[in-house]
A and B are shown apart, each in its own frame.
Chain A
Amino acid sequence: MSLAGAGSAASLQDVRLVIDVPDGRLLFGCGDLDLWAEHLVWCYELLGVKRGATIAVQDFGTSPLAFLGSALLMPHLNQGVAERLGGKFICLDATADRVALTPFVLTQLEIDLFVVRAEVVGLLGDACRKAAFEFAEARTRTVVAMDVFEPVPAAMASWRRLLLSESAMLIAPECEWCGCFHLRAGLYRLEDGAIRNLRLKSAQNRPLNDHYVIVREPCAKGPEDLRIRRAGEPCRKWSR
C-alpha cells in the first residue's frame, strides 16, 4: 500500500483509516478526522444550519459527508457533525434502490438540511415525483453536493450548493451571506490554478477550471478565505 502523503501519519503503522474515493485514496491517522468534521460543521453553518439540526445526506458511505456525520460511524473520530451540532444525522445510500426509498424516509423525519450527491439528483427527483413528495412542503433546506467540474443540475437550480471533491478532501460551501464558495483559510490554497489541501497529505490537488472566478472582496463570514463563484453567474445571496 502506498503511503505517499498519509494525513499526519508518519509511517504505515500510523495509518488507521484507508478510505478510497473516486480517483484517489485518503489516509488518516489517529485524530486526523476531527479537523475535517469541524470543517464540515463550519460549512453547514455557512449554509445556514443551526445547532440541534437534523441533517440527512444522500451519498455513498465513503463520502466525507457521510463518514464525518458522527463519531458513532467512524473510529478515531472524537466528535462528528451530529455531536458538534448537538443534532442528528442520517445517511441514505446513493444507489438507485435506496434513492427510491428516500421520500418514505423523509416523511418519517423532520429534516433541517438535506444534502444530495449531484449524480443522483435526477433519480431523487423521479422518486419524489412518484411519491408525491415536495421538499418545499417539508420545509427542508436542500443542498446539492457537486464537484468543481460538474454542471449545476438544472432541476435543482434553486438548491444551495456545496463543492465536494473527495480526492482533494475539498468541501466548500456556498455562503448564505455572500453567495460565493468559501475555500477556508488554513485548509486550502490556490496554487498554479489548482486547489491544494494544506492539511491532508494524501489529498490530491484539484484543478480549478475556468468555470470559476476568484472573488476579491472579503466576506464577513470568512475574511481570510479564498472565495470563488461560477463564471457568468452572479453570487446568489440567500440572506442579509
Chain B
Amino acid sequence: MRSLGDDQAAEADAERWPVERLAAWQLDRLCEVIDFARKETPFYRRLWSEHDLTARKLERLEDLKHFPITTKEDLLRGGSADPTPGEGPVGFSTRGTSGKPLVVWLSAEEEEVYVRPTMRGFRWAGLKKGMTALLTSPVWHRLAACEAHAVARIGGRCAFFWGSILNPRHVESFLRTLDEVRPEFVTTTAPFLFWLVRHLESAGNSHAGALRNVAAIVVVGLPLTPRLREHLCQRLEVGDIFERGGTQEGAALDECAVHSAPHVHEDVCYLEVVDPQGRPVPAGRRGNLVVTKLASAGSIFVRYNTGDIAAFVPGRCPCGSSFRRLKIYGRPESSVEVAGKTIAAYDVRLCLEEDQTLVGRNLLLVREGVQSPQRLLVAVEGAGLNTEELERLLCDRLGLPGAKIMWLGDIRVRWGFREVLDRRELRSMGLNDSRENRR
C-alpha cells in the first residue's frame, strides 16, 4: 500500500485540488485497494471470480460500477471473519440496528490515513491548539478512535466523561465533566445532545450556562435540519454545531462553517449514491450510500451498501472545497415507505418545523403494517395544533396522497437512532386508536 504519508505535503490541501487531480488520486488508490482485495481477501476473491472480474482493471473511476455491490448480509454469509493480512488489532462492532452487527477491524496504517481528515474536519469546526476537547469514547466507533488522535496532533487536550453516549442516564456524568473540565470543543451524538437539552430543561438552573465555554460541538448520528441546529445552539448556548458523518466501513464526512451539508473526505473514501438497481444517481437525487475505502488496510470494503439513504448536494460549496457534499437522510430504521416513496424522519421534521413552535419536539414515523400504505402516519410530541394545515403541508411537500399526525400529548419520545415504530408498539406507549382520536 502506498502510504498517504508519502504525499503529506500535497495532501494537506487535497480539498483544494482540481477535480482532475482528485480523480486521478482516487483512481490510483482504488486500483491499489482492488489489487489488494483480490490477492488478500478471500471474500472479494470469491465474489469477483463469480462475476468474471478476476483480472478486471480500472481504467477510469466509472469502471468501478462493474464491481458488484455488497451488503452486510453478504459479508456475514461470505466469511467476513476470515482474517485478512493487515486488517489490524482493534475491532469495532456496528450497532446492529438493522439486523446482526458486523465486526470491522482497524489497523495502524488505516488510522494514519483517517486521522488527517479528522483533523481537517475538526479545524473546520474551530478546534485549535491548546483547547480541551470533551470527546466520545474512542472504543465506540472507528471514527471516534481517530478523533482523540486528531485532537492530540492538533495540540489539544482530550477529556472523556464516565459512561456511554448510548445511555441517557449518563448525561449527568457528562455534565459533571463539562462543569469541571470546561472544554472548548465537544464531540457527541445528536441523540445524546437532545437528551442533554431535556435534562437541562428539567434541571432548571442548576447547570445554567454549562456549555457557555464551548465554541463548537460536533455531532454524529442524526441529520440536523437547519432549525434544529439553531434550536440546539440557542438552548445550549454554544457557538456552533457541526455535523460529522461516517460509517464503520470507511465513509468520512465533516461539515464546514457554511453548513450546507457535510463534505466527503474524498481523499480517503470513494462514495457513490445508487438507485435500487445499483446505478449511480445524479447529484440531488436520493439513493443508497455505497462506500469504498481508499486504503488497503483494516477491513476492506469495496462498493459496500451501508443501507443509508443519501444524496450528493449539487454544485460547489461556497467555502471553496472541491470535496463533494453529501447529506445522509437516514436508514431503514429512520424511514418508512409510503405510496412507493421512502420518507425519512428528517423529511417530516423539515416540514413540521415550518411551524416554529414544533422545533425541538421529537417525532416517530409509524409503520402501519400494510404493504406500501397510501398514508403517512406520524406521532409527534406535545399538544396538537394546526393539525389539518400541517397534514396538508406534509402531503404537498412530500408528494403523498395522505398524511395523519397523532399528537402524543405529554408522552415523551426518547431521541435515538431509531425513529420508526410499528403501529402495535403504540400500545406500549399507552396509545390506542381511541386515544389517538381524542388528541
Distance (whole angstroms) from the CB of B433 to the closest CB of chain A: 30
A73 / chain B contacts, CB cutoff of 8 Å = 90, 138-139, 145, 148
* Interface positions of B from 143 to 157, Cβ below 8 Å from A: 145, 148-149, 151-153, 157
| Pair B158/A93 contact, Cβ less than 8 Å | no
- Is the CB of A153 closer than 8 A to any CB of chain B? no
- Pick from B90, B152, B167: contact of A95, CB below 8 A: B167
A104→B81 CA distance, assembly (Å): 12
- Is the CB of B111 closer than 8 A to any CB of chain A? yes
- Is the CB of A214 closer than 8 A to any CB of chain B? no
A22→B81 CA distance, assembly (Å): 35
| Pair A72/B89 contact, Cβ less than 8 Å | yes
A20, A21, A101 — most chain B CB neighbours (10 Å): A20
- Is the CB of B163 closer than 8 A to any CB of chain A? yes
Write the chain B residue with the least CB distance to A90. B91
A13→B151 CA distance, assembly (Å): 15
* Interface positions of B from 282 to 316, Cβ below 8 Å from A: none
| Pair B101/A66 contact, Cβ less than 8 Å | no
Contact A20/B177 with A60-B162, A62-B162, A97-B166 known, Cβ cut-off 8 Å: yes
A62 / chain B contacts, CB cutoff of 8 Å = 137, 160-163
- Pick from B102, B140, B161, B182: contact of A93, CB below 8 A: B140
**Contact mask for chain A residues 79-92; partner B; CB cutoff 8 A; 1 contact, 0 none:** 00011000111111
- Is the CB of A187 closer than 8 A to any CB of chain B? no
Q: Which of B57-65, B92-100, B198-206, B395-403 contacts A (4 or more CB under 8 A)?
A: B92-100
**Contact mask for chain A residues 17-49; partner B; CB cutoff 8 A; 1 contact, 0 none:** 111111001000000000000000000000000
Write the chain A residue with the least CB distance to B155. A16
A209→B318 CA distance, assembly (Å): 64
- Is the CB of B103 closer than 8 A to any CB of chain A? yes
B93 / chain A contacts, CB cutoff of 8 Å = 90, 92, 98, 101, 105
B182 / chain A contacts, CB cutoff of 8 Å = 1
| Pair B157/A101 contact, Cβ less than 8 Å | no
| Pair A72/B160 contact, Cβ less than 8 Å | no
- Is the CB of B106 closer than 8 A to any CB of chain A? yes
B91 / chain A contacts, CB cutoff of 8 Å = 88-90, 109
- Is the CB of B53 closer than 8 A to any CB of chain A? no
Number of A-B contacts (CB under 8 A): 131
B162 / chain A contacts, CB cutoff of 8 Å = 20-22, 60, 62, 166
| Pair B158/A109 contact, Cβ less than 8 Å | no
| Pair A1/B166 contact, Cβ less than 8 Å | no
| Pair A101/B158 contact, Cβ less than 8 Å | no
- Is the CB of A67 closer than 8 A to any CB of chain B? yes
Distance (whole angstroms) from the CB of A162 to the closest CB of chain B: 18
- Is the CB of B68 closer than 8 A to any CB of chain A? no
**Secondary structure of the B side of the interface?**
mixed
| Pair A90/B103 contact, Cβ less than 8 Å | yes
A15 / chain B contacts, CB cutoff of 8 Å = 157
* Interface positions of B from 364 to 414, Cβ below 8 Å from A: none
| Pair A19/B164 contact, Cβ less than 8 Å | no
Distance (whole angstroms) from the CB of B40 to the closest CB of chain A: 17
Contact A69/B101 with A19-B160, A90-B92, A95-B164 known, Cβ cut-off 8 Å: no
| Pair B158/A17 contact, Cβ less than 8 Å | yes
A47→B239 CA distance, assembly (Å): 49
- Pick from B102, B145, B177: contact of A72, CB below 8 A: B145
For the side of the interface on A, what is the size category? 35 or more
B137, B140, B152 — most chain A CB neighbours (10 Å): B137
| Pair A109/B139 contact, Cβ less than 8 Å | no
Write the chain B residue with the least CB distance to A12. B157
A105 / chain B contacts, CB cutoff of 8 Å = 93, 101, 103
A180→B148 CA distance, assembly (Å): 37
| Pair B137/A108 contact, Cβ less than 8 Å | no
Contact A89/B137 with A18-B158, A21-B162, A75-B158 known, Cβ cut-off 8 Å: no
A102→B175 CA distance, assembly (Å): 29
| Pair B161/A72 contact, Cβ less than 8 Å | no
| Pair A98/B166 contact, Cβ less than 8 Å | yes
Distance (whole angstroms) from the CB of B228 to the closest CB of chain A: 24
| Pair B89/A82 contact, Cβ less than 8 Å | yes
- Pick from A16, A18, A87, A93: contact of B89, CB below 8 A: A87
B157 / chain A contacts, CB cutoff of 8 Å = 15-18
A73→B182 CA distance, assembly (Å): 23
| Pair B108/A72 contact, Cβ less than 8 Å | yes
Write the chain A residue with the least CB distance to B298. A72
- Is the CB of B208 closer than 8 A to any CB of chain A? no
B180 / chain A contacts, CB cutoff of 8 Å = 1-2, 25
| Pair B103/A72 contact, Cβ less than 8 Å | no
Write the chain B residue with the least CB distance to A93. B164
A21 / chain B contacts, CB cutoff of 8 Å = 162
Write the chain B residue with the least CB distance to A94. B164
Distance (whole angstroms) from the CB of B337 to the closest CB of chain A: 25
Distance (whole angstroms) from the CB of B80 to the closest CB of chain A: 7
**Contact mask for chain B residues 126-140; partner A; CB cutoff 8 A; 1 contact, 0 none:** 000000100011111
- Pick from B96, B100, B145, B181: contact of A1, CB below 8 A: B181
A16→B154 CA distance, assembly (Å): 12
- Is the CB of B423 closer than 8 A to any CB of chain A? no
Write the chain A residue with the least CB distance to B174. A20
- Is the CB of A201 closer than 8 A to any CB of chain B? no
Measured CB to CB, the residues of A under 8 A from B are: 1-2, 15-22, 25, 60-62, 66-67, 69-76, 82-83, 87-98, 101, 104-105, 108-109, 166
**Can you name 30 A-B pairs with beta carbons within 8 Å?**
A1-B180, A17-B157, A18-B158, A20-B159, A60-B137, A60-B162, A61-B136, A61-B138, A61-B139, A62-B160, A62-B161, A66-B139, A67-B138, A67-B139, A67-B160, A70-B90, A73-B145, A75-B153, A82-B89, A82-B90, A88-B91, A89-B91, A90-B90, A91-B139, A95-B164, A97-B166, A98-B166, A101-B100, A101-B101, A108-B103
Q: Which 3 A-B pairs have the closest CB atoms?
A: A61-B137, A75-B152, A90-B91
